[in-house]
Amino acid sequence: MEFDEWEPVYERILDDFGFERGADERARDVLAALSSPFEWDCLEHVQNAHVVIAGAGPSLESTDALETARRADVIIAASTAVDVLEANDIVVDCMVTDLDKNPETVVELTERGTPVAVHAHGDNIPSVRTVVPDCRGAFVVPTTQARPVGPVENLGGFTDGDRAAFLADHLGAATLGFVGWDFEDPAVDPMKAAKLEWAERLLYWLERRRGERFDVLDGRREAIDLLPLQTE
């Protein structure tokens, strides 16, 4: 995903949530100062693989979801989904996080050589400053939703979950499957619900770009508002 293609969508997200672009850029710059360019060779096995994107929703703990993850060629997991999977003896290939919940998992994964895509945005600068220096730097993939700078990449996506899908797409995954995605989780607050709505919208955009149909969107496509993604 080139930033020029992502930027109009990013601007719509900023407008929708009232986020400040400058805050995202300040966070990006902090992450850039603490990071090195990521060497993608350790994720080359994602290319042409069936990749399961594990969300951190409550359905991840179901037997069907865990078995689907267990059968995957590659697993890219969002946030605390890593903890659920590994508690069930399912090893992930990559974690995607904005450091809001389980920083100890982030550090542990990098120490054992599992890449973690660490995302910097306007309100997580303290976490970036605290967690990233404790990580094994070679296994930190620094990301931003603003314009990429230095070692910090922008591969597309907004929430941990949909960023994981965009990451898999960037790496050339053949097909994407989804577990642990609960778009209508009644336990989430209004802000999280709005973010899940955007995650759904972005997945729909990604499947159209890929010419693929994601099972997680079955029965939902007609209700998805793509207007914010009409950039032409």
Instruction: Give yes or no for residue 232 having a pLDDT over 50.
Output: no
pTM: 0.96
26-35: pLDDT as tens digits: 999 999 999 9
Contacts of 110 (CB under 8 A, 6+ apart): 116, 135, 136, 137, 138, 139, 140
105 CB-near residues (< 8 Å, 6+ apart): 80, 82, 83, 95
Q: What is the pLDDT of residues 29-78, one digit of tens each?
A: 999 999 999 999 999 999 999 999 999 999 999 999 999 999 999 999 99
pLDDT band at 230 (very low <50, low <70, confident <90, very high): low
User: Which residue ranges form the domains of the chain, and what is each CATH number?
Assistant: 3-229 (3.90.1480)
The model's pLDDT over 77-101, given as tens digits with 9 standing for 90+, comes to 999 999 999 999 999 999 999 999 9
- The tokens for 209 are 């770009």
Per-residue confidence (pLDDT) for residue 228, from 0 to 100? 64
Residue 221 has a pLDDT of 94
Mean pLDDT over the full length of the chain: 96
